[in-house]
Structure 1
Amino acid sequence: MRKYISRRDFIKLAGLGFGAMAFTPLSAHDIDYRWDVFSQPRRLPQFPGSAIIGRVCEPDIDLRNRPTNDPIVNSSIAKLGADHLLEWNREVIGNVIGGLPNQRYVETPQGYVYASVVQPTKNLPNTPVTELPNGQGFWAEVTVPYVELAHEGTVASPWLQDHIAYNFPPRLYYGQTVWIDQVRTSNGFPEYRWNEDANGRGYGYGGYGEFYWADGAGLKIITDADVATISPEVDPNEKTVSIDLDYQTMSCFEGAREVFFCRISSGKRYDPVTGQVTDTYATPAGSLLTYWKIISKNMTAGNEGAGYSTPAVPWCTFIASGGVAVHGAFWHNAFGERRSHGCVNVTPEDAKWIFRWTMPYVSLAAGEERRELPDHGTIVTSNETQF
């Protein structure tokens, strides 16, 4: 059973993990970070040159000379800190002992890393704009492994407080979506200001009203085509979603034809503090509905022992009361095993597809990127036979 760590523990351990890797060329994250002198975002670093770049999502992760964690083999050759970047060659099936369902490892030029803790990312830098289009703010999507952030104003969120406490640089990661309300040019580089509340147009629910500046080259402006409805010609009543909680999969159907499939990470079946089996964090089974959507949302809940504070969770499609949503997860790659606090985690790319395909349909018009349709959404059937 994987041990759950609080968000404070994660930041602390991740900070201690900096510099643990001996392969300097891949340590783009390994910087001397000081809050008292960092008033502007750093430029994008030199990312690894592979088509897929693996970002280590947890602290103190083993780099192994073979794809197994069998202690008899003793395959560990180094430790990687959080946000360490790796050249991703391919995924291979290994031998994972300890009760974890995922047997996948990422093969890199230096060795193997357990795939569940490595986010697959890409380096797709953008040509940033130098002023707001038509004087209006815009939604943007991170298209590089990460972008550094510089905070403006009053510190309010638990997420940022923890980063300051453990001297861990705040960043946005590949796949996150944010609302940009200002553009400036600093030393010849366009920078975007992320408004995490967006005056009610961004997060809305759960935001702390903070502002952050980032290198605009790491953020792609989201266009109408990015949110355009998939299969608009299909009768919305013919669209249905099936979630298999036993096998941790999701399928989308148009009539009887399956048009989309992905692996998921649904709610845990145990309390992360006591380790006891419980329904507290379980994803609900039964007939559900995609009744509410928002492009990006701050998700904060729990407490110091078993809590989380995660800003800019992308492409949220809510399917049940209590804040249960299908949304992108950039903090792990453990799809295929239960992991969440009740939501249905999928990759940001999968979350975006589901967001676009299901009802209610969303546009970028003011007030239309966050819509509620309590009685007429897409039907979601969540099935579970095992406990």
Structure 2
Amino acid sequence: MLQGLTRRDFLRFSALSACSLAILPPEPAEERDLLGLGRVTVSWIYLYAEPSYNAKRLNRLERDAIITLLGRETPDDGPPYNPLWYRVPDGFVHSGYIQRVCWKPQTPRLEIPEGGALFEVSVPFTRSYRKPDQTSGPLYRLYYQSVAWVEAVEQGSDGRLWYRLLDDILKVNYYVRAEHLRRVEPEELDPISPDVPLNAKRILVSLAQQELLAFENDRLVLRTRISSGVPDYRPRGNGIPTATPTGRFYITKKTPLRHMGDCRLTDSLEAYELPGVPWVSFFHETGVAFHGTYWHTDFGRPKSHGCVNMHTEEAKWLFRWTKPIIEADVILKAGHGTTVIVV
């Protein structure tokens, strides 16, 4: 529901929302290029003269820099696990820490279903705040294709519409500009092949090959590169090893978003905070799961703290394909689900 507004305000905002989109920064010209835009996902990466780590380093690109991706290169010297490089206006960057993004501002929703609804960040990144006011305390940056639980839409002190988000772990609220999130429509989460019997679906994860394969009976329906846990069997502070466990498991819980990392309120871009990790399917009692990944695309080698990192689109497909089936706008579903074998 739109908080604290009369019907007259409601109608006025219907017009104002359309006008506010018109005065946003114009769509970057780069969006019209074939490959679109990329975002640097780590503190910095090097720009090279050629698509090779042995080439001359031309510059450093800082975290969250938005760059034009002009073309793909796959040189012989790789690296072999992920040989993809991008040609950019002034040189080349390796794809491992480039998230492909879009600039798709939205018309804000003026009504939110009772209890909340799923939304997804539709711009390269947006800043969250403690209040619907850009002069209030800043918090996390939320990144393209991360998922948020929106409880309400409110008028901010700047006259714009803001969404009130609920953090799924900390159970606190923060706010983002409403035009930076798009509604995840319920039909987007329709189950895939729900009539296939539970015992006919299975997932095989090869740690040696860094691959995931999904089967319906003996038919392969998905094969993709992943990033599993970095093999360090010493327990962390929480007592959980970082290596992805091997064995036979089952999907036991699913949630469309999860705040991962240290789970602290902060405005630091260098903190280990990953709010809104999308399309999470848990298969181990320690919290190991399949999920989408917005902080790297360096699939093909271990990168995680134990989970199975996937391309976000493929994690969403797996989320819909596996059992237990979770309905749209449900924050958590538990049950005995699809078989997972990790070798």
Question: Normalization by structure 1: what TM-score?
Answer: 0.72
1:254 maps to what in 2? 216
Which of these residues, 70, 85, 108, is aligned with residue 128 of structure 1?
108
SS at the partner of 2:187?
helix
Which of these residues, 80, 84, 98, is aligned with residue 118 of structure 1?
98
Q: Deviations over 1:118-168 (max 9, x none)?
A: 1112223322212324x5421101122112222239xxxxxxxxxx8xxx9
Contact kept in structure 2, 1:60 and 1:82, CA below 8 Å: yes
Contact kept in structure 1, 2:228 and 2:302, CA below 8 Å: yes
2:267 maps to what in 1? none
Distance 2:37 2:233 in 1: 33
Distance 1:301 1:188 in 2: 34
Following TM superposition, by how much is the alpha carbon of 1:194 offset from its aligned partner in structure 2, in angstroms?
1.2
Following TM superposition, by how much is the alpha carbon of 1:44 offset from its aligned partner in structure 2, in angstroms?
6.6
Which of these residues, 81, 84, 93, is aligned with residue 101 of structure 1?
81
2:72 maps to what in 1? 91
Q: Deviations over 1:43-69 (max 9, x none)?
A: 677544245311001123111121111
Which of these residues, 332, 340, 344, is aligned with residue 304 of structure 2?
340
Q: Deviations over 1:91-142 (max 9, x none)?
A: 3213668x88332212222221111011112223322212324x54211011
Higher mean C-alpha deviation, range 185-194 or range 56-65: 185-194
Q: What is the correspondence of 1:149-228 to structure 2 with a 5 Å cutoff?
A: 149-152=128-131, 170-186=140-156, 187=158, 189-196=160-167, 203=168, 207-228=169-190
Count of aligned positions: 305
Cα gap change, 1:302 to 1:123, in 2 (>3 Å): closer
Matched, 1:297 2:258: yes
Contact kept in structure 1, 2:96 and 2:298, CA below 8 Å: yes
Cα gap change, 1:45 to 1:287, in 2 (>3 Å): farther
Distance 2:130 2:80 in 1: 38
**What is the RMSD computed on CA atoms of the aligned residues?**
3.0
Which of these residues, 137, 158, 162, is aligned with residue 116 of structure 2?
137
Cα gap change, 1:236 to 1:310, in 2 (>3 Å): same
1:370 maps to what in 2? 332
Following TM superposition, by how much is the alpha carbon of 1:221 offset from its aligned partner in structure 2, in angstroms?
1.1
Following TM superposition, by how much is the alpha carbon of 1:214 offset from its aligned partner in structure 2, in angstroms?
1.4
- Unaligned runs of 5+ residues in structure 1 are 1-41, 154-163, 197-202
Contact kept in structure 1, 2:44 and 2:60, CA below 8 Å: yes
Distance 1:55 1:295 in 2: 23
Question: Normalization by structure 2: what TM-score?
Answer: 0.80
Contact kept in structure 2, 1:58 and 1:117, CA below 8 Å: yes
Following TM superposition, by how much is the alpha carbon of 1:378 offset from its aligned partner in structure 2, in angstroms?
0.3
- Unaligned runs of 5+ residues in structure 2 are 1-22, 265-270
Q: Sequence identity of aligned pairs in percent?
A: 30
Following TM superposition, by how much is the alpha carbon of 1:242 offset from its aligned partner in structure 2, in angstroms?
1.1
1:55 maps to what in 2? 39
Contact kept in structure 1, 2:144 and 2:294, CA below 8 Å: yes
Distance 1:45 1:329 in 2: 28
Distance 2:263 2:243 in 1: 15
Following TM superposition, by how much is the alpha carbon of 1:184 offset from its aligned partner in structure 2, in angstroms?
2.0
Following TM superposition, by how much is the alpha carbon of 1:76 offset from its aligned partner in structure 2, in angstroms?
1.3
Distance 2:233 2:150 in 1: 37
1:321 maps to what in 2? 285
Q: What is the correspondence of 1:22-41 to structure 2 with a 5 Å cutoff?
A: none
1:287 maps to what in 2? 248
Contact kept in structure 2, 1:130 and 1:185, CA below 8 Å: no
SS at the partner of 2:244?
coil
